[in-house]
Chain A
Amino acid sequence: MKIQTKTGSEGIDTILLEGDLDFHSSPEVRTELAKLVDRQSKKIVIDLHKVSYIDSSGLATFVELYQKMKRYSGKLVLFGLSPGVRSVFIIAKLDAIFKLAKDEKEAAAFVA
């Protein structure tokens, strides 16, 4: 799993994930995300357009991030979900919890 973190203007942390987000790669992603939470990043945008597969441990990683960010009123948005990845979110009914944006622009607008 490739993880790229960049901090853009207006304090938006964008994380680009590349590869399958599963049982094996989730701990690595979790560690990276924990770093952002530790410094209380208020705006986190996750770019999933290079993620082709996600399993329950991948979902749990985002739920955990959501729960942690909620404590300090951070905003989390995911974008670039492939139809397959989106369907996993829908099956788990997590579309009711997470903000799933169409593209980076919409995502940035949401956290702004």
Chain B
Amino acid sequence: MKIPPYLTLKNGAILLAVSVAAAFLSRTPPFNILEKRLLNHSFQIRGAEPPHPDLVIIEINDESLHRVGSWPWPRGFHGQFLKILAPAQAKVIFFDMFFPEKSNEQNDALFAEGIEKAGNVILSYYFPATQPKEMREPQGLPIEVLKKSAKHLGFVNVFPDSDGYVREIKLKHSDQGRTYYHSSLVTAAEYFGWVQKDLQKIPEKPFLINFPGPYLNFRVIPYEKIIQAYGYPGGKALFDSLKGKALLIGHTATGTALDLKPSPFSTHYPGVALQASMVHTLLTGKYIRRLPLDLHILMLFCFLILILSFTQNRKPVKGFLFTFASLVIAFLLIQVCFIYFRLWIPFASFGIPSLLVFLTITLYSFVKVHFEKELYSRELSLATKIQANLLRSEMPEIPGIEIAAVMIPARHVGGDLYDIITVDQTKCGISIGDVSGKGVPAALFMSKAISEFRRESHALNPSEVIKNLNIKLAEGGFSGLFITMLYLIIDPKTRSFVYANGGHDPLFFYQKSKNEVAVLVTETGGPLGIDEITEFDQKEAQAELGDILILETDGIKEAMNAKRELFGLERIQAAIIEAADKPAAEIIQHLQLRVSQFVKNAPQHDDMTIVCAKFV
């Protein structure tokens, strides 16, 4: 398998570092709260599921207070209640309320008797603490007589996360050699008949509560309904249904239920329901596991590589769409893992780093492209300066011919050149050329071409000059650069001219007598600078007074309009004929005018160069 080029050791190391950082950060504030918020959504997406069938909440609600009387009820009432309940043979009964102070002796004794008789009652206490590490001295312990008769005691503390939601419960707490157990664990232990050894296995770390659903998802029976059912023939069914159950007795009445706390299913979740949810988790054994750190890092690393591979060298919109789509898929998979495997994978730890990777790549390539453009345009302006310095600004005065030349560089310099020299004192040599490529290398190649041309131009035959120039340029190296060149020598005395062509556009020859433009080509010749053995021939022709020779570069012939049509040979010929009776400079102007009328607003792609020689 081929390793993609972007997957360098450096990129891999960066992504690994990001993965490690993200995995750790997702476990520390403030990101852990963000992850836990998302966990709320996972619960809501999963929805309610059946609570453990042996779990029953017995609530003291508004109706109970209305029927029985205001709180606190005489403790003898609870004793009575336990007596009534005894035949139902519940497995465990947990009172989610405190009895820390004595009431009257008779009532306390009655309650103690009920507890004693039931033999499976768990009472509560609490730690005055806002977080687990503050748990020191238990408080709210039942009075001695109740404590003695209770089967077990359990602390009821639940510590909300910093956003106020309760999601975890610490089931066990050790302090100064003493171990305390949470009421939900004690309830579950009593239900299963666990012994001390089983409880020792429980770790001290907080357990995530697997909330089965909203409060009313539990089987809830009002306290007073049980009392009402006692003695009624129809009540037997209710008592039978409580056999072997775990009963959790707690407040839900508006005035007394002070421990309403936000949970994933409701912002007002009664404390007894929190207890019930934890008992449900323990009874069903359906624990929620958090993705282990090592696996988390590995998954993040793979995911980030995926994001990198698809955003690298892509347009920002495409990259974003891909990142977004990947995250949507990841979110869905995470929900599937939660629902079916109870595996909690922190989504934000994937979302935030992927967006960071996407933004970094986008920003990096933006800066890089911007920087390269800047560099490129600087190089081009340097090349333009070189090009401008190489061109002759003064025309040699040669009797019998009138010469004009113009060059319009394109924004991206194309490398046109021309040179007009005196040959053999009375003759005029005109060369025009076009260097392939752009930028500084092309400009330097052009300067070499011009200086070599001037050195070779002592020869009187254009084909010889071109041939020698080709050899000089071809032996220079393997730059891949080449030049096309048309070279023409005019003898004004005889009004004759000789030309050779090294792969350049043809020579345009206007004959006044015929009022037409001939396109003059040679037999052989290709671009210069590629192959020393390229052959060049030369042709000779006779002109008359008023005849015109036009040399141009492909910036004219291939000037393109918005419809992507080319100016072409015929339009050049027509333009020359139209302006044939004008001086050389005006002929050029007319040809330029026709080109600009043709291309209109289309951008200029290439340099445009025209040289005109008129026999006068």
Contact = CB atoms under 8 A, between A and B. Distances in A.
Contact of B534 (A62, A63, A67, A96): A96
Given A60-B436, A60-B437, A97 B479 contact: no
B503 interface: yes
Given A70-B531, A93-B503, A93-B504, A64 B478 contact: yes
B417 to A, nearest CB: 16
Contact of B480 (A63, A96, A97): A63
B530 interface: yes
B525 interface: yes
Contacts of A66: 530-531
A63 B525 CA distance: 16
B479 A96 contact: no
Contacts, number: 63
A96 B503 contact: yes
**How would you classify the secondary structure of chain B's contact residues: helix, strand, loop or mixed?**
loop
A94 B503 CA distance: 8
Contacts of B477: 67
Interface in B492-512: 502-504
B437 A97 contact: no
Contacts of A56: 436-438
A67 B558 CA distance: 28
A93 B526 contact: yes
B79 interface: no
A75 to B, nearest CB: 13
B534 A92 contact: no
Given A64-B479, A67-B474, A68-B478, A97 B527 contact: yes
Nearest to B606: A56
A109 interface: no
Interface residues of A, number: 19
Interface in A27-52: none
B503 A60 contact: no
Interface residues of B, number: 23
Interface in A48-86: 56-57, 59-64, 66-68, 70
Given A56-B438, A60-B436, A64-B479, A93 B484 contact: yes
B146 interface: no
A18 to B, nearest CB: 16
A66 B534 CA distance: 13
Contact of B482 (A57, A63, A95): A63
B554 interface: yes
A68 B482 CA distance: 14
A67 B502 CA distance: 17
B481 interface: yes
Nearest to A37: B478
A57 B436 CA distance: 8
Contacts of A60: 436-437, 479-482
Given A60-B436, A93-B502, A95-B526, 5 more contacts: A92-B484, A92-B527, A93-B526, A94-B527, A96-B526
5 contacts: A56-B437, A56-B438, A60-B479, A67-B530, A93-B503
Interface of A: 56-57, 59-64, 66-68, 70, 91-97
Interface of B: 436-438, 474, 477-482, 484, 502-504, 524-527, 530-531, 534, 554, 558
8 tightest Cβ-Cβ pairs between the two chains A and B: A93-B503, A96-B526, A64-B480, A60-B480, A67-B478, A97-B526, A63-B480, A68-B478
